[in-house]
Structure formats: structure tokens, C-alpha cells
Amino acid sequence: MASNQLNGQQVLILPEGSNRILGRDAQRTNIAVGYAIASAIKSTLGPKGMDKMLVDEMGDIVITNDGATILEEMNIEHPAGKMVVEIAKTQDKEVGDGTTSAVVIAGELLKKSTELLDQSIHASTIIGGYKNATKKSIEVLYEIAEKIGVEDKKQLEKLASVSMGSKTVGSGTTKELLAKIVVEAVTQVAESVDGKFVVDKDYIKQEKKQGNDVTQTSLIRGVILDKDVVHSGMPKSIENAKIALIDLAFEIAKPETDARINITSPDQLTSFLDQEEKILKDMVEKVVASGANVVFCQKGIDDVAQHYLAKKGVLAARRVKKSDMDKLSKATGAKIVSTLEDLADKDLGRAGLVEERKIAGDQMIFVEKCKDPKSVTILVRGGTSHVIDEAERAITDAIGATTGAIEEGRYVLGGGCIEMAIASRLRKYAVEVGGREQLAIQAYAEALEVIPRTLAESCGMDKIDAIAELRNKHEKKLAPYGIDVYASKVADMKVVGVIEPLKVKKQALQSASEVVEMLLRIDDIIASRGKPSGAPGGMGMGDME
């Protein structure tokens, strides 16, 4: 079907069954798809946002308020839709919070670009304006933001709590508890590198165990291993543990090839077995000589070796995953060794307690009460798997927000305040820029207002009045006003305590505008063999209000 004409001659360049949409139609289609997706998750924004129940082909249910999760579960097929979903994924990966905001802003930017296209403003002018506006917005963010550091625990807790705001994880006190745990975890793991703090989120593990309820969630200053103590004769609990991390098998290596040993007398057999036993015994002796009373082995531990370790009162676990070995090393300060030759006290790690405990029916080894662990575990509890999963997502957001705040060292006011502040600056900036581009910058400013507008709507306020009041307050000078969704009114966000990391906002603007620019630049959609290129299947196109 796709054909190009030159001098009246038809040339087919695409295979039969391909689908092609060109120019304006291509842009419009992509915009409509992106907007539809954003509309679908818009109602979840903020603490008063609604949850979505997602049911997959197998009938499994996920109940969540998390933008990234909803989009993932929606299995979006349309290529432009997938690009929008990417925003959420990037946001989730880079900062771990602000996913809904990023997608909603992208949707609004797309909607505004239709209006601009309708006024015959060229896509490249819109792209230029949006790019310019993003740059300016980020400058404004840094200008307005306030400083925050690892020592500001109270502020960080507030920020963690706000980021969990929209997830149903129980009452306000539960959120406070989780916020405390998260801040403790993140500040504990934070390390200062060249005067800046970095947090490796891989070293904050969440271990989910059904049972009890969310309020029983706790921070383990160390690591929980999904392992048993290897031998029943070993102690199940050791205080003031000295831990050896060994990447070496406590086994006699079996010959690679089919070796044969000729044994001609019973004596020979005994001495052969004795020999094996002696090697293993020596290995155990070396471990014990180093002072270790706990051994975590990445490889196997032979029965004989287990027996000797037990006899020496050593607690041991075998076949510990490499990733857990790394976490143990970070938590206890132990060095992972692959030879026992010079194993010494300096290689050993320390933990206040190593103990095998049964939790939700599973035996697990707790390595806890470490002194200055750079790897910690949050033991997440909850009555049902749905509750635990949502708690995990809430904690992930809070970890993201806290990490973002510590790494950038800056926060801003939420509840739509920062978006209003940026919008007001952008309007002034647009006039300075002038020309047609100013229209795109103005459109960008209006698009940002989607955040306070949606928040106002979520708590039953009149959104037009709310935006008018906020514009008024932000017009002349820097103001701390945003939407207090609990009181359903415009309020001072500093007083209400709605603060968010600059990093979350910055990333949201960057990824939203990046994808919008990319979509606007497309003027040709070529889909092979009739793949979807029209409307997204089964989903409303979203009423462009």
C-alpha cells in the first residue's frame, strides 16, 4: 500500500500489509495515544488519588496507586504508548518516585501541543520552546530549592512520608513508622564520596514476609539470609559473632576425569579416607584459628566438614548467593576470601547477633545488630500479599525520595507549589523570549499546572478557583502555597509539611519533555504487517477537556 510517486510512476517500497501514517496524522495519533495513557493514570495522583485494580489474563489482581506499576500491568501495545510508559520506567529507575507526575505532565504537554499545532505552529518551534522551558524550569528549581542533608532526619522523614502519601499502607502513624525506618536505612547506607553523599539502593533490601501487619515492619541492621544453619549440631544463635565469608568449597574436589584408585588392602582404604578427612579437618582448623565463630560459604560444605565445624561450635551456612555475600561483606565489614591460607582476624566481619529464626514458616538466618552496616534489610510485614506488595512499593518510593534528597542535597515544596512557582516564572520568561516560541513556553507553563489542578480535583475542590487563587499568590513573588488535599484548601506547604526532593521534580520534567519532543518529531509511522498504528486497542482516547 505504501507507495511513492515520481514522474507519475508508482514505486512500492514497503512489503504488502504494511501500515503507514504520514505527517500530521502521525503526530496526532501519537499525541492522542500519549494523552490517553496519561489520562488513565491521572486520577491516582496525590494522597487523595484513587487506586486501580488490575486484573491480568490469569485472574491475578494487583491493587495499586503506583504509576509505574499500573502502566506496566496495562500491557500497552501502541509504540507511542510504549514510549510514554518508558517515562515511568526511567523515573522509577532514576529516582523511584514521581512516576505519575512525570506521565501526567507529559500527557498535558502533548495536549498543549495539539492546540499549538492547530494554530499552525510548526512542531520544531514547539520542540524548541519546550526544550527551552525545561532548561529554564530546572534553573528555577535550583534557585528556589532549599538545602537538606543526612543529618536533617526530621525533614527527611517528612519527605519520605509525603512520597508514600498516596499509597494505602495504613494510618498516618504507620506511614510515620515506615518513614522513620526508611530514613534510618538510607542514612545508614549513605557513603560520602568526594564530599558528596551517594546511596547504593541495592544495599537496602526489602524482605517481604506475610503475617502480622504493616506496623510490625522493622529495620534489620544487617542481612537476612533465606538459609538454614547447615548442621543440626551447630549453635542456632551466636552473640558478638565473628564472621568469615568464604568463597571456597569445604569439599574434596572430585577428579575431573574418570580417575581410578587401586586399593589393595583395607588399610589402604582407611588411610585414604583418613587423608580426606584430614584435609577437611585442617580447613576447619584454619577457620577456627582465625577466631571465626560464624562461616558463610558461597560453595558447598561436606558432611565431614560440617561435623568438625559443629564440634568447634561454629554456626555455618552453605551455598550463600554471591549477591548476599556482597551484602554480608558490606554489613559486617568482612572480606570475602577464596583461600584459607592467611585467614586472620582482620578478614572477619562483626555482628551483634547471628541467629536462625523461623519467620512466616521459613527458617532464615538473621545477621543483625551490625555496628556500622553499609547494607541493611527492611523486613516488610503485612496481613495479605496485596498489602505487603503495596507496602513494598510505598517503601521503594520513600527510599527513592530520601536518596534523591540526600544525593542532590535539596528539596522543594510539593502539593503543586513548585509547579505553580515555575509556571509563574516561565510566563515572564516567555515574554522575554518572544516570537512564536513564547507560545510554546506559555503552553509549557500551563501544562505544569496540571499537577495542582489534579490535586485540587482529587480532594473535591473547584479546580478553576483553586488555580486562580494559586496563580494570584504566585504571580508577584515566591510563595509557599499549594493544595492541602487533607483540608481541601490552598495552604502554606511549609506549614503543612509537604516537601519533595528536587531530584524527583527535575527528573520528571526531563523525562516528560524528552519523550514529548521525541513524539512531536515523528511525522511518519511505518508499521509492518498491519501492527497497531491507529487508536490504542480497547482504551478510551481520553476526552481532551
Contact residues toward Mg ion (CB under 5 A) are 97, 163
366 or 481: CB nearest ligand ADP: 481
Q: Give the H or E element holding residue 177.
A: helix 172-189
Distance CA(444)–CA(328), nearest Å, equals 48
100 is catalytic: yes
Distance CA(155)–CA(150), nearest Å, equals 10
Distance CA(513)–CA(495), nearest Å, equals 31
Q: Evaluate whether 219 touches 378 at the Cβ level (below 8 Å).
A: yes
Does 484 help bind ligand ADP (rule: CB under 6 A)?
yes
Site map (CB under 6 A) of ligand ADP, residues 435-454, x = contact: ----------------x---
Does 107 help bind ligand ADP (rule: CB under 6 A)?
no
- Pairing between strand 237-246 and 294-297? parallel
What are the start-end ranges of the E strands in 175-232?
A: 191-193, 196-198, 204-210, 218-220, 223-225
Closest separation between CB of residue 460 and ligand ADP, Å?
A: 13
Closest separation between CB of residue 87 and Mg ion, Å?
A: 14
Place of cell 587401586: 262
Q: HEC string of 47-60?
A: CCCCCEEEECCCCC
Does 498 help bind ligand ADP (rule: CB under 6 A)?
yes
45 binds, among Mg ion, ligand ADP, none (CB under 5 to 8 A by kind): ligand ADP
Does 293 help bind ligand ADP (rule: CB under 6 A)?
no
Q: Which stretch binds ligand ADP (CB under 6 A): 42-50, 56-64, 469-477, 520-528?
A: 42-50
User: Amino acid letter at 16?
Assistant: E
Site for ligand ADP in 367-426 (CB under 6 A): 414-415
DSSP 534: S
Distance set, CA 168 to CA 206, 211, 358, 516, 534 (Å): 18, 18, 28, 31, 36
Does 165 help bind ligand ADP (rule: CB under 6 A)?
yes
Q: Evaluate whether 325 touches 241 at the Cβ level (below 8 Å).
A: no
Given 26, 30, 38, 46, the residue binding ligand ADP (CB under 6 A): 46
Distance CA(225)–CA(112), nearest Å, equals 51
542 binds, among Mg ion, ligand ADP, none (CB under 5 to 8 A by kind): none
67 binds, among Mg ion, ligand ADP, none (CB under 5 to 8 A by kind): ligand ADP
Closest separation between CB of residue 95 and Mg ion, Å?
A: 10
- Pairing between strand 349-359 and 499-501? unpaired
Closest separation between CB of residue 97 and Mg ion, Å?
A: 5
Q: Which stretch binds ligand ADP (CB under 6 A): 91-99, 188-196, 273-281, 434-442?
A: 91-99
112 or 167: CB nearest ligand ADP: 167
451 binds, among Mg ion, ligand ADP, none (CB under 5 to 8 A by kind): ligand ADP
Does 162 help bind ligand ADP (rule: CB under 6 A)?
yes
94 or 484: CB nearest ligand ADP: 484
Q: Which of 99, 174, 217, 377 is catalytic?
A: 99
Q: Most distant CA pair in the chain: distance in Å?
A: 101
274 is catalytic: no
Distance CA(237)–CA(141), nearest Å, equals 51
47 or 480: CB nearest Mg ion: 47
Distance CA(252)–CA(261), nearest Å, equals 15
126 binds, among ligand ADP, Mg ion, none (CB under 5 to 8 A by kind): none
Distance set, CA 50 to CA 166, 203, 280, 395 (Å): 8, 32, 61, 19
Q: Which of 90, 100, 134, 454 is catalytic?
A: 100
226 is catalytic: no
Q: Which of 397, 402, 454, 484 is catalytic?
A: 397
Closest separation between CB of residue 63 and ligand ADP, Å?
A: 14
Q: Which of 66, 92, 324, 484 is catalytic?
A: 66
314 binds, among ligand ADP, Mg ion, none (CB under 5 to 8 A by kind): none
Cell of 199: 546511596
96 binds, among Mg ion, ligand ADP, none (CB under 5 to 8 A by kind): none
Does 100 help bind ligand ADP (rule: CB under 6 A)?
yes
Q: Which stretch binds ligand ADP (CB under 6 A): 75-83, 162-170, 258-266, 292-300?
A: 162-170
3 state SS of 360: coil
User: Amino acid letter at 413?
Assistant: L
User: Within 10 A of 305 (CB to CB), how many other CB atoms are there?
Assistant: 27
Residue number with the smallest Cβ distance to ligand ADP? 414
Closest separation between CB of residue 92 and Mg ion, Å?
A: 11
Exposure string for 229-261, b = 16+ CB within 10 A, e = fewer: bbbeebbeebeebbbbbbebbbbeeeeeeeeee
Q: Which of the residues are catalytic? A: 66, 99-100, 397
Q: Which residues bind ligand ADP (CB under 6 A)?
A: 44-47, 49, 65, 67, 97-101, 162, 165-166, 414-415, 451, 455, 483-486, 498, 500
